[in-house]
Structure 1
Amino acid sequence: MSETSAPPVTGPLCTRATLAAELRALGVSRGEILLVHSSLSSLGWVCGGAEAVVRALLDALGEDGTLVVPTQSGDNSDPAEWTDPPVPQEWWPDIRAWLPAYDPRTTRTRGVGVIPETVRTWPGAVRSAHPQTSFAAIGPRAAELMDGHALDCRLGERSPLAHLERAGARVLLLGAGFASCTAFHLAEYRGPAPLVENSFAVLTGGGRRWMTVREPAISEDRFADLGADFEKERPVVRGSVGAATARVFALPEAVAYAETWLPRHRPRPA
């Protein structure tokens, strides 16, 4: 009887120490604020998995640095908009009535990878209040950066992105592309955009509530093209961490560049 062999292990071998050293060589500095978009699988074989990556990031940032990650949970949304997969229309009322409300302590991330989920559950981590587009942070400035995330402002002026901009944070794309760069959405909020209805389950003083708000539509359409032009024209440090391509750049500069790029290359109706 033949046995199906496991696929061969692919490297390089990454450890907490090697990752921290490569992050420092890339320019990650002690004491800074760093928004990280990541792909664990892009790094190679990581001894310790996502926990080792988080520890390496914290090592590079030091005790005075603050690590921030997106901890999105887009499945807390109107089932009428679900396409992956869609659900029968006759289920919609029950889903709206019983979908668990967002709780920053327990609601799991979706679609952002295992590293943000590890940060979310890290001792001392602080998570912002939006039920779909939250962020989580570890470090001395975590609470102030996560504060005041409005329910009708996914990624705009009353979200952690605006706090990060004012604080002069930098972005690390760790095996992730510019299509994942949430900072570009802050520029979207500053241009004309159609308003859309957005629904989710939240916890209030009176208990669970299904809420609908109106806010600007957002889209990652052409973010990869935006990032490619930004990298050509503005300072972006590019290097390797493990097997991953990594990029580091200033968040305020990325937002400012997107504010001028998006109206020219991706016009949207008011």
Structure 2
Amino acid sequence: MPVPPPTGPLVTRDTVAAQLRTLGVRSCEILLVHSSLSSLGWVNGGAVAVVQGLLDALGPAGTLVVPAQSTELSDPALWSRPPVPEEWWDVIRATMPPYDPLTTPTRGIGVIPETVRTWPGALRSAHPHTSFAALGPHAREITDGHAPDCRLGEHSPLARLEKLGARVLLLGAGYDACTSFHLAEYRTPAPLVDVGRPAPGGGWETLTEVSISSERFDELGHDFERDRPVVRGKVGAADVRLFSLAEAVAYAERWLPLHRPAEDFPHPGV
């Protein structure tokens, strides 16, 4: 049986750059991008063409930032996608390779962030679970100093992006992927959780961290978009949203205590 042709639309590097400029992406700005390659249509060149288009729209003075999470470097007791047998846990903890910004792959966030992570000149922050990768003049300023006990708080790239006036681009991704909202969790009452991971020098370590979850982020994003300026449009077939990171964090700081109190906070799995 013949394979049907793709339905499109046909998307190229130039398509991405031109449509981003039409939406208002500015050369020389700092852009935190959450993305879904499959949402765009048929992309000639795949993730490489998308990254090229993003860099074209930003220009040489702009900075591209993506999440570069590697949540597999975590306690197997919390894994749920998929879980592993309990009798494996001790062996997994004892043999799990430590985090290496150069070689540890991203996990669960799509091929575009992994393409940015491996792009020539890309820098990556030091947190073994929730790092960020960046390309451009502000890359080092954004990625340096990511504290090992601060996934997405004041000592993470998110706080630096807020200070630098970055904007967020949801490129075919929903508000459930919007990491900026997590910065607000660090500024509102939230429970703590013990986080296990391979230690940099070998062995296993456990740190106490703020518990984070994207629970109800879609609802939060809906309300944010209703009340604050959000640019909406299309790149290829993908729905796109563009907005101020600082405004999103400030809105979430007010919204979360009212709609997701700490006592209802779920314990996230991995």
Tell whether the structures are fold-level matches, with TM greater than 0.5.
yes
Amino acid at match of 2:250: A
Determine if the alignment matches structure 1 residue 105 to structure 2 residue 102. Answer: yes
- The residue aligned with 1:264 is 258
The CA deviation at 1:131 is 0.6
The CA deviation at 1:242 is 0.4
Q: How does 1:139-154 map to 2 (within 5 A)?
A: 139-154=136-151
- Of residues 85, 89, 92, the one that matches 2:86 is 89
- Of residues 204, 219, 223, the one that matches 2:217 is 223
Whole-Å Cα distance in 1 between the matches of residues 43 and 57 of structure 2? 17
Amino acid at match of 1:113: G
Structure 2: segments with no counterpart, 5+ residues: 266-270
Determine if the alignment matches structure 1 residue 245 to structure 2 residue 242. Answer: no
Amino acid at match of 2:236: G
Amino acid at match of 1:228: H
Determine if the alignment matches structure 1 residue 78 to structure 2 residue 80. Answer: no
Q: 1:72–1:112: 8 Å Cα contact kept in structure 2?
A: yes
Determine if the alignment matches structure 1 residue 21 to structure 2 residue 45. Answer: no
**Sequence identity percentage:** 69
Determine if the alignment matches structure 1 residue 234 to structure 2 residue 231. Answer: no
The CA deviation at 1:181 is 0.2
Whole-Å Cα distance in 2 between the matches of residues 166 and 211 of structure 1? 31
- For 1:162-221, what per-residue CA distance to the aligned partner results, in whole angstroms no more than 9, with x for missing partners? 000000000000000011000000000001111100011142xxx323211001110101
> Where in structure 1 do 4 or more consecutive aligned residues deviate above 3 Å?
none
Whole-Å Cα distance in 2 between the matches of residues 7 and 185 of structure 1? 42
- The residue aligned with 1:64 is 61
Determine if the alignment matches structure 1 residue 188 to structure 2 residue 182. Answer: no
- The residue aligned with 2:268 is none
The CA deviation at 1:7 is 3.8
Whole-Å Cα distance in 2 between the matches of residues 268 and 150 of structure 1? 24
Amino acid at match of 2:198: A
The CA deviation at 1:47 is 0.5
- Of residues 48, 51, 54, the one that matches 1:54 is 51
Amino acid at match of 1:169: A
Secondary structure of the equivalent of 1:213?
strand
Whole-Å Cα distance in 2 between the matches of residues 44 and 32 of structure 1? 26
- For 1:76-126, what per-residue CA distance to the aligned partner results, in whole angstroms no more than 9, with x for missing partners? 110111122221212111100101111000001111000000000000000
Normalised to the residue count of structure 2, the TM-score between the two structures is 0.96
Secondary structure of the equivalent of 1:208?
coil
Amino acid at match of 1:22: Q
- The residue aligned with 1:173 is 170
- The residue aligned with 1:209 is 203
Whole-Å Cα distance in 1 between the matches of residues 205 and 4 of structure 2? 47
Amino acid at match of 1:245: D
Whole-Å Cα distance in 2 between the matches of residues 133 and 186 of structure 1? 12
Normalised to the residue count of structure 1, the TM-score between the two structures is 0.96
The CA deviation at 1:136 is 0.1
Name the Cα RMSD after superposition. 1.0
Amino acid at match of 1:227: G
Whole-Å Cα distance in 1 between the matches of residues 254 and 219 of structure 2? 14
Q: How does 1:100-139 map to 2 (within 5 A)?
A: 100-139=97-136
- For 1:140-177, what per-residue CA distance to the aligned partner results, in whole angstroms no more than 9, with x for missing partners? 11001001111111111110000000000000000000
Change (3 A) 1:209 1:7: farther
